[in-house]
C-alpha cells in the first residue's frame, strides 16, 4: 500500500534535513516541494563546516545515493583539532599525526562546508522542487489538508506538511505546545574575513583545522573555512537567559563587543583579542536552548517535524545536522514502508524513534554543555580526546 500516492508533500525549510528528506522521498516516487524563505540558492553565503557521522549524516547520504558527490566535495583532514588553554598552551594536537580514519571507519568524521553540502543536495533534486522566497506566515487546516500562506502572498495546499524550519519553527505550534528551556550557556558567533591580515597571530597559530580553547569556565572554538578563506569562531560562557538584552551591547558595534570581551575574558591571552578587533566582523549572540528530553506528543497523520524544529538543543555534541539528516532518513523510510496501513501509524513509528534518540543525545549534549563550562572543562576535554585516540 503506497501511503503517499496522490499526496502532495510540503517540506518547510531548505536546510540539510529538509533537502535530504526531499531527495529521499523523490527517489521513492513521492510528490514533494521544499518551501525556503531565501530569495534564491545564492542569496546567502553558506559558511561554517559540518562534520558528518557514519551512523547518521553519512548513512543518510548513502541512502540518498550521494556518497560519491560528498567524497568529491569534503575537506580531507580538516577535522584535525588542537586543544589549548586560555593562554594558548597546547595540550593536544592532531595536526602532526596521520590521517584520522577513512570512510567506513566508525569514528571517522569527514567535514564539509555547509554551502557545499547544500549544493550537493539541491543539485540532486528534480527541477523546481525548491520554491524560493517562501517565508511561511500561517498554516490553516482545511478538511484533511493544509493551506499554507507565505509572506509574498502566495498560497499552496498540501496533504502532508513537514516542519524542517529550524529552532524558531513556525510549524511546531501545530504539532505540540511544548517549549524549550534555556541551557544556561550563551554563544557569540563571529567570522573574520582574510584572517592572514585581519587576525595574523591567530592565523599563524591556527594551522587550519580547529582550535578548541577551554579555561576559566569558558570556551573559544575557531575553525577554518577553506572554501572562502574565513575564520569562523564561537565564544561560549554561562550567562543569564536575558543576557543579550540586559547587556546593553550593540552587536553591530565592534568596539562595544571588544570592550565587553576584554572584561569577560580578562584572564585570557591577548592573542584572542584579534577575534573581536578585526574590522567588519558580524557578531551574532545565540542563547542556547534545549527541548525537554522527555517531550512527547500524539502522532498526527498529516504533519510532523524534523531536525531543530523537533529537538532543538545546544551544539556541544556536534549532533545537530546529523540528527536532522537521520530524521529525514527514518521519516522517509516510515512513510514509504508498506507494513503501515495508515499515515498516523507511519508518522508515529518515526516519531517514536526520534523521541528515543533525542532523549539519549540530548542528555549527552546537556552533560557536555555543563562540564565544558566548568573549571574542569580542559581536563575533561583532554580525557575525551585521549580516550578516543586509544
Range(s) of the chain covered by CATH 3.30.9.30: 182-290
Q: Percent of the chain beyond pLDDT 70?
A: 92
Could you give the CA distance from residue 209 to residue 171 in angstroms, rounded to a whole number? 36
Predicted confidence (pLDDT) at residue 277 exceeds the cutoff of 60 = yes
**Phi, psi (degrees; rounded to nearest 5) at 113:** -65, 140
Q: Percent of the chain beyond pLDDT 90?
A: 74
Q: What is the pLDDT, as a whole number, of residue 194? A: 84
Q: Which of 54-58, 99-103, 130-134, 373-377 has the lowest mean pLDDT?
A: 99-103
C-alpha cell at 89: 598552551
Predicted structure pTM score = 0.93
Q: Which of 38-47, 285-294, 320-329 has the lowest mean pLDDT?
A: 38-47
Mean pLDDT, the chain, rounded, equals: 91
- Decide: 328 and 57 in contact? Cβ < 8 Å: no
Predicted confidence (pLDDT) at residue 389 exceeds the cutoff of 90 = no
Predicted confidence (pLDDT) at residue 78 exceeds the cutoff of 80 = no
Q: What is the pLDDT, as a whole number, of residue 237? A: 97
Q: What is the pLDDT, as a whole number, of residue 113? A: 85
Predicted confidence (pLDDT) at residue 224 exceeds the cutoff of 80 = no
Please tell me which of 90-94, 112-116, 297-301 the model is most confident about, judged by mean pLDDT: 297-301
Q: What is the pLDDT, as a whole number, of residue 382? A: 93
Predicted confidence (pLDDT) at residue 329 exceeds the cutoff of 60 = yes
**Binding-site residue positions for FAD:** 51, 114, 308
Q: What is the CATH number of domain 8-72+117-179+291-371?
A: 3.50.50.60
Q: What is the pLDDT, as a whole number, of residue 51? A: 87
Q: Confidence band (pLDDT; 50, 70, 90) for 262? A: very high
Q: What is the mean pLDDT of residues 184-207?
A: 86
Which residue, among 4, 63, 62, has the nearest Cα to 338 in the 3D structure? 4
DSSP state of 126: P
Predicted confidence (pLDDT) at residue 94 exceeds the cutoff of 70 = yes
Q: Confidence band (pLDDT; 50, 70, 90) for 193? A: confident
Q: What is the pLDDT, as a whole number, of residue 280? A: 80
Q: What is the pLDDT, as a whole number, of residue 107? A: 67
Q: Confidence band (pLDDT; 50, 70, 90) for 179? A: very high
Whose grid coordinates read 555547509?
A: 114
Q: Confidence band (pLDDT; 50, 70, 90) for 278? A: confident
Could you give the CA distance from residue 335 to residue 4 in angstroms, rounded to a whole number? 7
**Binding-site residue positions for NADPH:** 44
Predicted confidence (pLDDT) at residue 99 exceeds the cutoff of 80 = no
**Phi, psi (degrees; rounded to nearest 5) at 346:** -65, -45
pLDDT: which is higher, 171 or 203: 171
Predicted confidence (pLDDT) at residue 390 exceeds the cutoff of 70 = no
Q: What is the pLDDT, as a whole number, of residue 98? A: 53
Q: Which of 200-209, 227-236, 363-372 has the lowest mean pLDDT?
A: 200-209
Which residue, among 132, 104, 106, 107, has the nearest Cα to 118 in the 3D structure? 132
Which residue, among 358, 350, 279, 264, has the nearest Cα to 319 in the 3D structure? 358
**Binding-site residue positions:** 44, 51, 114, 308
HSE of 375 in the Cβ direction (CA atoms, 13 Å)?
A: 0
Angle between helices 320-335 and 343-372 (to 10 degrees): 170
pLDDT: which is higher, 108 or 8: 8
Could you give the CA distance from residue 353 to residue 356 in angstroms, rounded to a whole number? 5
Q: Confidence band (pLDDT; 50, 70, 90) for 231? A: confident
Range(s) of the chain covered by CATH 3.50.50.60: 8-72+117-179+291-371
Q: What is the mean pLDDT of residues 283-305?
A: 97
Q: What is the CATH number of domain 182-290?
A: 3.30.9.30
Q: pLDDT by residue (tens digit) across 280-293?
A: 888 999 999 999 99
Could you give the CA distance from residue 383 to residue 368 in angstroms, rounded to a whole number? 13
Write the burial class of residue 204 (CB in 10 Å: 0-12 exposed, 13-18 middle, 19+ buried): exposed
Amino acid at each position: 500500500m503506497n501511503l503517499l500516492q496522490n499526496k502532495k508533500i510540503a517540506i518547510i525549510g531548505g536546510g540539510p534535513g529538509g533537502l535530504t528528506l526531499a531527495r529521499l522521498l523523490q527517489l521513492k516516487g513521492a510528490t514533494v516541494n521544499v518551501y525556503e524563505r531565501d530569495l534564491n540558492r545564492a542569496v546567502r553565503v553558506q559558511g561554517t563546516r559540518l562534520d558528518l557521522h557514519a551512523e547518521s549524516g553519512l548513512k543518510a547520504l548513502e541512502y540518498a545515493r550521494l556518497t560519491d558527490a560528498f567524497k568529491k566535495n569534503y575537506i580531507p583532514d580538516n577535522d584535525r583539532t588542537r586543544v589549548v588553554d586560555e593562554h594558548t598552551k597546547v595540550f593536544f594536537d592532531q595536526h602532526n599525526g596521520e590521517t584520522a580514519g577513512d570512510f567506513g571507519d566508525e569514528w571517522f568524521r569527514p567535514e564539509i562546508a555547509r554551502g557545499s553540502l547544500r549544493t550537493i543536495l539541491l543539485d540532486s533534486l528534480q527541477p523546481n522542487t525548491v520554491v524560493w522566497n517562501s517565508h511561511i506566515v500561517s498554516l490553516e487546516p482545511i478538511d484533511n489538508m493544509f493551506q499554507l500562506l507565505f509572506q509574498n502572498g502566495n498560497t499552496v495546499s498540501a496533504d502532508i506538511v513537514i516542519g524542517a524550519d529550524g529552532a524558531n519553527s513556525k510549524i511546531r505550534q501545530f504539532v505540540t505546545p511544548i517549549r524549550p528551556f534555556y541551557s544556561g550557556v550563551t554563544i557569540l558567533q563571529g567570522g573574520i574575513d582574510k584572517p592572514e591580515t585581519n587576525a595574523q597571530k591567530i592565523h599563524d597559530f591556527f594551522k587550519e583545522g580547529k582550535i578548541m580553547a577551554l579555561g576559566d569556565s569558558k570556551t573559544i572554538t575557531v575553525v577554518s573555512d577553506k572554501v572562502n578563506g574565513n575564520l569562523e569562531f564561537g565564544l561560549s560562557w554561562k550567562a543569564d537567559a536575558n543576557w543579550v538584552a540586559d547587556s546593553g551591547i550593540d552587536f553591530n558595534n565592534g568596539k562595544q563587543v571588544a570592550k565587553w570581551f576584554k572584561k569577560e575574558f580578562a584572564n585570557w591571552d591577548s592573542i584572542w583579542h584579534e577575534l573581536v578587533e578585526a574590522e567588519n566582523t558580524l557578531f551574532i549572540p545565540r542563547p542556547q536552548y534545549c527541548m525537554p528530553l522527555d517531550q512527547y506528543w500524539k502522532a498526527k497523520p498529516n504533519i510532523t517535524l524534523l531536525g531543530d524544529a523537533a529537538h532543538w538543543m545546544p551544539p556541544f555534541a556536534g549532533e545537530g545536522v546529523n540528527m536532522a539528516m537521520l530524521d529525514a532518513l527514518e521519516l522517509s523510510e516510515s512513510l514509504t514502508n508498506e507494513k503501515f496501513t495508515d499515515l498516523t501509524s507511519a508518522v508515529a513509528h518515526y516519531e517514536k524513534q526520534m523521541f528515543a534518540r533525542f532523549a539519549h543525545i540530548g542528555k549527552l549534549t546537556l552533560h557536555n554543555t555543563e562540564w565544558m563550562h566548568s573549571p574542569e572543562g580542559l581536563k575533561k576535554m583532554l580525557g575525551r580526546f585521549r580516550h578516543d585516540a586509544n
